[in-house]
Chains A and B, each alone.
Chain A
């Protein structure tokens, strides 16, 4: 079976496409909606908003999460904010400008039509979330406040202190909880998707593992939505929550869903540098800090003085120097690479010389400590708890870390993967951010997909299935998938080697970080492509999982997730290898300008690379979706 990539972009002028789609799509009438069962896997922003909205429309929804409660998804950790083209500040924002900034921020590697729709519905998201009671920050007059974020010259970011993701997720969770309470959604918590089942090439349902009992079971439905988040933990150390993993998307990939642009990963410039080898994760310091903090390193690499003792003219405020018009608000990929260069140059600060300063001294002088505290208090507290240093007194130390993944399952305009009936929403899909995501745009995309896109597009597929029987869980395909899943977990238990899943994850992460991180080369990627399969073989022979398979066993859960990260790692490196250009988060050292900026190649690479599973993780089949730009002109991305 070979896949075809039909993006199904509606005809007509860009600004009318979404209306055009809605005017002509097939609908399911309200009374018939309850005849359809939809499975939603994942209850983060994308999944919770989709599940709640689909249930409100009348569909029967089964929602799955491996968390103990839908309130805990990784979305909860988002700090900075959410973008919307409300233009409440009257500073020149518009749907077009948000669209344009997002396409440009993504280094011209996103699908125009999707991004335009995202910008259009962004305004509805804020309305919806305020109606849910999300306590966004307000001005004294009682109207909503905004701040600015990297990659934009307008103030369009809505926020709730430093906890925007938490407040948005709780809003969507509460809306979902209402549906659970009313019986519109059936919730399955502490359940992990371990396989997707297809019958006659269509999504028929899923196989899950109960994380408390180890029991494997099947669920069938008319359509399946994956909203299972990103794969940033492939690097082991990242800002993602510990449980984030690629399994759901990867299992779908193995069942026929193309995986697009896996090498587009975002390294966030403002994280707390690693302190030691045992470190389990890295902590993000919100990008919003760059509104008031100034990034610098000592000019002299051998400078050992405390920050405050280094005079102004011996400091290099390198972002302000190289990018005068965006300064400290230069986009993430650019700010990250600049930090890497400073550290590689020996100008790094801190005990391990592995960070750069983010300094608030000027902001505190200008605004007063109280204002700074109001804006960033909880982030400053968090920093102090982790490092033991007080950022009101000494500058923060930051360094880039894996944060977000733009790549993901390929979806068409309707968010359907290459498997009919299988949809993908939120960070798990590849859709809207091209090669680099702008700050405060992931929350926007997750909620756009879940609230305002999927609930419309899914009926276009379901309408044809009205009153037709669907395969039940007694179908042979479910039985086979259950058996394979059970065998897989039994196999992890029975290897009886010497190393824990975490050991392998850490080693794998190091390879991916070194060769497929902030800077990639052909030689390095080739090396990774020989080291990862070798380590994977070792994993299969030397893994040790203690305990049993019939009660909670986090070691066993981890083994399954790491196994899938191995295969994904191979695909990330392969994708990075064939993309012989630099764009956004993908920086190939061979392709840079004289000044060291990313050098895109629009003639040969203005396409999405979507990979088809072949059965051998080292030999995926490459497909391409050419990106057609009708409105935006290619441009060298400059923030100078």
Chain B
């Protein structure tokens, strides 16, 4: 049967809105099963708060299966908490001990303003994709899917990068608030594939430059890779940088010709 943890103290960031000051609030969970997920523990806390006539803690979540990228908590100073390769929603209480104090904060990054409590606005990540994180193939004109064989290792490598769930943990973990792992993952996914070649260099350039508009710069700390729930390899940043520099070079050549 499942074990119970007792007396867990939660130190939770509360903030009424983007322009308000925030502070930590302390709550105690008397007893919780180790089978509970971390977010179920917050559900229980919220039930208690509502019963006591207090406002529930706001936090983002949806699939609770580690795939949608919505959940986003700093747990004891680590993006997505202590378990490697695991999103907040897949963290279970069996990773904690009775009597623990757990600090819960939102993603902290200047590109991600706090909306309320633990919820932040991550839409700058969407701006990067809108700038070029796609292949321009309008509906209707696609050739037969098996026309271009793609070697399995290439497809697998593209898939490794495509697994990014867009959670923003890499940004939150980075001392500079850089989004290079996220952007690198998308550039790598598309630029490795034959279908992605036509726009390869424009894509790298447009995405990197949009990224730089919103986010800090990468100084190779590697915190992003350690925090990433999908274990996206930091190599994607090298792939992105190489394509970005090639893009710059090519575009200079193009300019000098005109």
- A212:B92 contact, CB within 8 angstroms: no
Please tell me which one of the listed residues A72, A132, A189, A452 contacts residue B62 in the complex, with CB atoms under 8 A apart.
A72
B55 on the A face (CB < 8 A): yes
> Which of B97-105, B155-163, B217-225, B234-242 lies at the interface with chain A?
B155-163
**In the complex, what residue of chain B is closest to A211 when comparing beta carbons?**
B115
Please tell me which one of the listed residues B35, B126, B149 contacts residue A143 in the complex, with CB atoms under 8 A apart.
B149
B227 on the A face (CB < 8 A): no
- B151:A142 contact, CB within 8 angstroms: yes
- B56:A175 contact, CB within 8 angstroms: no
A608 → chain B closest CB, angstroms? 29
The CA of A502 and the CA of B165, in the complex, are separated in Å by 27
- B51:A71 contact, CB within 8 angstroms: no
A193 → chain B closest CB, angstroms? 17
> Which of A6-14, A425-433, A550-558, A627-635 lies at the interface with chain B?
A550-558
Q: Mark B121-133, 1 if CB is under 8 A from A, else 0.
A: 1110110011111
A428 → chain B closest CB, angstroms? 17
Please tell me which one of the listed residues B63, B123, B132, B195 contacts residue A189 in the complex, with CB atoms under 8 A apart.
B123
A64 → chain B closest CB, angstroms? 15
Total A residues in contact with B, Cβ cutoff 8 Å: 83
**In the complex, what residue of chain A is closest to B125 when comparing beta carbons?**
A69
Please tell me which one of the listed residues A67, A127, A174, A180 contacts residue B70 in the complex, with CB atoms under 8 A apart.
A67
A364 on the B face (CB < 8 A): no
A182 → chain B closest CB, angstroms? 9
- B58:A53 contact, CB within 8 angstroms: no
Please tell me which one of the listed residues B35, B69, B83 contacts residue A71 in the complex, with CB atoms under 8 A apart.
B69
A77 → chain B closest CB, angstroms? 5
Q: Mark A60-83, 1 if CB is under 8 A from B, else 0.
A: 000000011111101011000000
A498: chain B residues within 8 A (beta carbon): 51
A161: chain B residues within 8 A (beta carbon): 159, 163
A174: chain B residues within 8 A (beta carbon): 129, 133-135
- A500:B47 contact, CB within 8 angstroms: yes
- B116:A131 contact, CB within 8 angstroms: no
B63: chain A residues within 8 A (beta carbon): 72, 74, 76-77, 241-242
A147 on the B face (CB < 8 A): no
A243 on the B face (CB < 8 A): yes
**In the complex, what residue of chain A is closest to B69 when comparing beta carbons?**
A72
> Which of A276-284, A289-297, A407-415 lies at the interface with chain B?
A276-284
**In the complex, what residue of chain A is closest to B54 when comparing beta carbons?**
A546
Please tell me which one of the listed residues A180, A278, A555 contacts residue B40 in the complex, with CB atoms under 8 A apart.
A278
Please tell me which one of the listed residues A71, A160, A385, A388 contacts residue B159 in the complex, with CB atoms under 8 A apart.
A160
- A177:B145 contact, CB within 8 angstroms: no
- B65:A177 contact, CB within 8 angstroms: no
- A546:B49 contact, CB within 8 angstroms: yes
A241 → chain B closest CB, angstroms? 4
A73 → chain B closest CB, angstroms? 8
**In the complex, what residue of chain B is closest to A185 when comparing beta carbons?**
B130
A522 on the B face (CB < 8 A): no
B236 → chain A closest CB, angstroms? 14
Q: Mark A124-141, 1 if CB is under 8 A from B, else 0.
A: 101111111101111111
The CA of A52 and the CA of B136, in the complex, are separated in Å by 11
B88 → chain A closest CB, angstroms? 12
Please tell me which one of the listed residues B16, B43, B142 contacts residue A551 in the complex, with CB atoms under 8 A apart.
B16
Instruction: Tell me the residues in window 448-501 of chain A with beta carbons closer than 8 Å to chain B beta carbons.
Output: 451-452, 455, 498, 500
- A135:B43 contact, CB within 8 angstroms: no
B135: chain A residues within 8 A (beta carbon): 131-133, 174
- A133:B130 contact, CB within 8 angstroms: no
Known A71-B126, A128-B142, A280-B37: A382·B137 in contact at CB below 8 Å: no
B143: chain A residues within 8 A (beta carbon): 127, 131
A263 → chain B closest CB, angstroms? 26
- B139:A68 contact, CB within 8 angstroms: no
B65 → chain A closest CB, angstroms? 6
Known A67-B70, A127-B143, A385-B90: A133·B17 in contact at CB below 8 Å: no
The CA of A143 and the CA of B150, in the complex, are separated in Å by 7
A127 → chain B closest CB, angstroms? 4
The CA of A174 and the CA of B43, in the complex, are separated in Å by 33
Please tell me which one of the listed residues A74, A137, A451 contacts residue B155 in the complex, with CB atoms under 8 A apart.
A137
B50 on the A face (CB < 8 A): yes
**In the complex, what residue of chain B is closest to A66 when comparing beta carbons?**
B62
A441 on the B face (CB < 8 A): no
A163 on the B face (CB < 8 A): yes
- A68:B60 contact, CB within 8 angstroms: yes
B183 → chain A closest CB, angstroms? 13
The CA of A259 and the CA of B227, in the complex, are separated in Å by 45
The CA of A70 and the CA of B69, in the complex, are separated in Å by 11
The CA of A597 and the CA of B60, in the complex, are separated in Å by 43
A132: chain B residues within 8 A (beta carbon): 134-135, 137, 195
A253: chain B residues within 8 A (beta carbon): none
- A127:B149 contact, CB within 8 angstroms: no
A552: chain B residues within 8 A (beta carbon): 58, 115-116, 119
A247: chain B residues within 8 A (beta carbon): none
A88 on the B face (CB < 8 A): yes
- A77:B68 contact, CB within 8 angstroms: yes
A86 on the B face (CB < 8 A): yes
User: Considering residues B60, B70, B92, which has the most beta carbons from chain A within 10 angstroms of its beta carbon?
Assistant: B70
- A68:B122 contact, CB within 8 angstroms: yes
B144: chain A residues within 8 A (beta carbon): 127
- A382:B139 contact, CB within 8 angstroms: no
A551 → chain B closest CB, angstroms? 5
B44 on the A face (CB < 8 A): yes
B196: chain A residues within 8 A (beta carbon): 133
B138: chain A residues within 8 A (beta carbon): 53, 56, 175
A143: chain B residues within 8 A (beta carbon): 146, 149
A275 on the B face (CB < 8 A): yes
The CA of A638 and the CA of B133, in the complex, are separated in Å by 47
The CA of A445 and the CA of B149, in the complex, are separated in Å by 26
- A77:B152 contact, CB within 8 angstroms: no
23 chain-A/chain-B pairs, Cβ below 8 angstroms: A71-B166, A128-B139, A130-B145, A131-B135, A133-B135, A133-B190, A137-B155, A139-B152, A143-B146, A165-B67, A166-B163, A174-B135, A180-B126, A181-B132, A212-B116, A241-B62, A241-B64, A242-B62, A276-B35, A283-B65, A385-B66, A544-B51, A551-B17
The 7 A-B pairs of least Cβ separation, nearest first, read A142-B149, A181-B130, A174-B134, A131-B137, A131-B142, A547-B55, A127-B142
Q: A133-B193, A173-B129 are in contact. List 10 more A-B contacts (CB 8 A).
A: A53-B138, A67-B62, A68-B121, A72-B70, A133-B189, A133-B190, A144-B146, A174-B129, A175-B137, A552-B116
Q: Identify the A interface with B (CB < 8 A).
A: 49, 52-53, 56, 67-72, 74, 76-77, 86, 88, 124, 126-133, 135-144, 160-161, 163, 165-167, 170, 173-175, 177-178, 180-181, 189, 212, 241-243, 275-276, 278-281, 283-284, 351, 382, 385-386, 388, 451-452, 455, 498, 500, 502-503, 544-548, 551-555
